[in-house]
Amino acid sequence: MSAKASGVLPNIGSAVIDPGAESEGSAPAGLTGKQESDFFDQSGKHYEYMHTQLNLGWLGKFWGASAAPSNIAGLIAICTITMIFVTLCMGPSPEISDTRKLLFGLLGSALSFLFGAATKK
């Protein structure tokens, strides 16, 4: 009388053999070691790219930098340019002229930081 007929499953040590288990898979694909290495290199580069994209933020995507000082200087430059255009729409007065001088100085400082930081690397 076989083990199946008696309702008792055969054992390997203390593990019970499952008669409904899947069969062994097919032979592995014919890949070379170089192809496998290239695959993992591409996967690593893709991961680094996605990680960088997530860390940039919307200002970092515009400026191309993930450093906070560059993003802050870029935000100051954008706000200063906007304020300069607002002052150009106002009528001429001594206060507006002084404000414009201050804004141009601030804009120059922000832009020199941005372009100076890019050449340091």
Distance, in Å, from the CA atom of 104 to the CA atom of 94, rounded to the nearest integer, reads 15
- Residue ranges of the domains in the chain? 67-121
pTM of the model: 0.51
- Residue whose C-alpha is closest to residue 100's, from 115, 110, 114, 90: 90
Which tokens hold the place of 100?
């414009």
Distance, in Å, from the CA atom of 28 to the CA atom of 93, rounded to the nearest integer, reads 80
How do the pLDDT tens digits run along the chain, 121 residues long? 455 555 555 666 777 777 777 776 666 677 788 888 898 899 999 999 888 777 777 777 776 666 778 778 888 999 999 999 999 888 888 898 899 999 999 999 998 888 885 555 5
